[in-house]
Amino acid sequence: MSRTVEVIKHHMAPAKPTAATNQKRPAVRSGTFAIGGDLPVHRLGFGAMQLTGTGVWGEPADRAQAIAVLRRAVELGINLIDTADSYGPYVSEELIREALHPYPKGVVIGTKAGLARTGPSRWVPLGRPEYLRQECEMSLRRLGVERIDLFQLHRIDPKVPADDQFGVLRDLQKEGKIRHVGLSEVNVAEIEAAGRIVSVATVQNQYNLAYRSSEDVLNYCTRKNIGFIPWFPLATGDLAKPNGALMRIARKLGAQPAQIALAWLLKKSPVMLPIPGTSKVKHLEENTAASLLNLDDSTMEELANA
Ligand SMILES: NC(=O)c1ccc[n+]([C@@H]2O[C@H](COP(=O)([O-])OP(=O)(O)OC[C@H]3O[C@@H](n4cnc5c(N)ncnc54)[C@H](OP(=O)(O)O)[C@@H]3O)[C@@H](O)[C@H]2O)c1
């Protein structure tokens, strides 16, 4: 391609979604949700935890593949990427920067702080305000941004007054270091307590077809227009198994089980923002194509009762 054509292309407005662009960028079809009312994302996102080493510790076995997954995610129309300081630790954020910086317009990176890592598969809540502030500063540096789009408190640390943890998030927002605030693994009372100190834009709780104990939190978020980010949307792969409970419905619809699990989530609430994780381009492509499925009411019910 000549340099002139490249320059023209660079300045062209993004194409309006058409059938062809939808096929190339299927995440667009998952619909849009505005985080905090002013930060629009396509609802099907990507979780970048699986890009690190075993036990979410250290470097990935295949670094080139991890970079390829992130770049392909954006090509597919994904513009919400979830990560955390503790994934690796630091490795996931560093990979995101390496793969995508300078970030294409509209790409939203949500990160988290509040869990210290003391070894592979070991996570320790650590919510002292000075630590949360340090981790925010370090994520700004690692991600290469002046402001973090979405900064989530990974866990409320029971050893530290919750209001102090919410308070430092409010301060960081006032200082312009973070745009929106999210919480993770919280109940309705905790969201309301945080909401008295800082505006809560998203909640990230474990939720999938097979694990629905946060149904009340989801309903609350839907009513309040708070983004609900279900982690383990595929039950860490169990819902994607070819011989799993979803296979019969998947066969009937000519889809893969993982796609059914994700389409069910997307249909469940307009505030639902699934972030399936994978270390493989093939699985990423398969998962993103779930945006093209629209389950009818009877299939939704059949799945809920399966
Ligand atoms: N807030 C929290 O406390 C919290 C906790 C955990 C996770 N999270 C976030 O939630 C995101 C999602 O969770 P997750 O990644 O652990 O679990 P998940 O999305 O439920 O499942 C990921 C697992 O499923 C496999 N998989 C993905 N797509 C597949 C497909 N199409 N077919 C077959 N297998 C497939 C992956 O293996 P392959 O790599 O082989 O594809 C991986 O082992 C994380 O990346 C992270 O951002 C947050």
Taking the C-alpha atoms of residue 215 and residue 280, their distance in angstroms, rounded to an integer, is 30
> Residue with the nearest Cα to atom 11 of ligand 1?
47
CA of 275 to the centre of ligand 1 (A): 8
Ligand 1: list residues with CB < 6 Å. 47-50, 82, 184-185, 204, 231-237, 240, 258, 275-280, 283, 286-287
Residues contacting 261, CB < 8 A, separation 6+: 208, 209, 233, 234, 235, 239, 240, 246, 290
Q: Residue 19: pLDDT band by 50, 70, 90 thresholds?
A: low
The helix (run of H) or strand (run of E) holding residue 112 is: strand 108-113
> Residue with the nearest Cα to atom 22 of ligand 1?
236
How confident is the model over 59-92, as pLDDT tens digits? 999 999 999 999 999 999 999 999 999 999 999 9
pLDDT at 21: 62
Q: Mutation test of ligand 1: which of 49, 83, 152, 214 has the most ligand atoms closer than 8 Å to its C-beta?
A: 49
pLDDT at 40: 98
Positions marked catalytic: 87
The model scores a pTM over 0.85? yes
How confident is the model over 147-166, as pLDDT tens digits? 999 999 999 999 999 999 99
CA dist list (Å): 127 to 5, 136, 198: 50, 12, 16
Contact predicate 123/117, CB 8 Å: yes
pLDDT at 18: 59
